[in-house]
Amino acid sequence: MIVALLLGRKGSIGFPGKNTFPIMGKPLAWYPMNIAKRTREIDKVYLSTDDPELKNLAIAEGVEVIDRPPHLATKEALGEHAYQHGFSVIQERNPGETIELVVLLFCNAATVTSDTISNGIKQLRENKDADSAVTVSKYNMWSPLRARKKDTDGFLQPFVPFETFGDPKTLNCDRDSQGDVLFADMGVSIVRPNNLLHLEKGMLPQKWMGQKILPLYQEAGCDVDYEWQIPVVEWWLKKYGEFR
pLDDT in tens, 32-65: 999 999 999 999 999 999 999 999 999 999 999 9
Per-residue pLDDT at 238: 97
The C-alpha atoms of residue 233 and residue 223 are separated, in whole angstroms, by 9
pLDDT of res. 68: 97
Q: Tell me, what amino acid is at 68?
A: R
Q: Residue 153 pLDDT more than 80?
A: yes
Residue 169 is predicted with a pLDDT of 84
pLDDT of residue 172: 87
Q: What is the DSSP string of the chain?
A: -EEEEEEE-S--SSSTTGGG-EETTEETTHHHHHHHHH-TT--EEEEEES-HHHHHHHHHTTPEEEEPPGGGSSTTS-HHHHHHHHHHHHHHHSTT----EEEEEETT-----HHHHHHHHHHHHH-TT--EEEEEEE-GGG-GGG-EEE-TTS-EEESS-GGGGS-GGG--S-TTTT---EEEEEEEEEE-HHHHHTGGGSPSS-GGG-SSEEEEEESS-----SGGGHHHHHHHHHHH-S--
Question: Mean pLDDT, the chain, as a whole number?
Answer: 96
**pLDDT recorded at residue 176:** 87
pLDDT score for 161:
93
Pairing of strands 44-49, 2-8: parallel
User: Where does the pLDDT of residue 226 fall: very low under 50, low under 70, confident under 90, or very high at 90 and above?
Assistant: very high
What's the whole-number mean pLDDT along residues 81-110?
98
Beta pairing class for 101-106 and 182-191: antiparallel
Task: Band the pLDDT of 14: cuts 50, 70, 90.
Answer: confident
Cβ pair 232, 220 in contact under 8 A: yes
Identity (one letter) of the amino acid at 95?
P
* Model confidence at 78: pLDDT above 80: yes
166 pLDDT more than 90? no
Q: What is the mean predicted confidence (pLDDT) over 104-115?
A: 98
Whether the pLDDT of residue 244 is over 80: the answer is: no
Q: How many other CB atoms are there within 10 angstroms of residue 59's CB atom? A: 12
Per-residue pLDDT, 167 = 87
Give mean pLDDT, residues 142-167.
Answer: 94
Residue 18: which pLDDT band, with cuts at 50, 70 and 90? Answer: very high
Q: What are phi and psi of 62, to 5 degrees?
A: 75, 25
pLDDT band at 237 (very low <50, low <70, confident <90, very high): very high
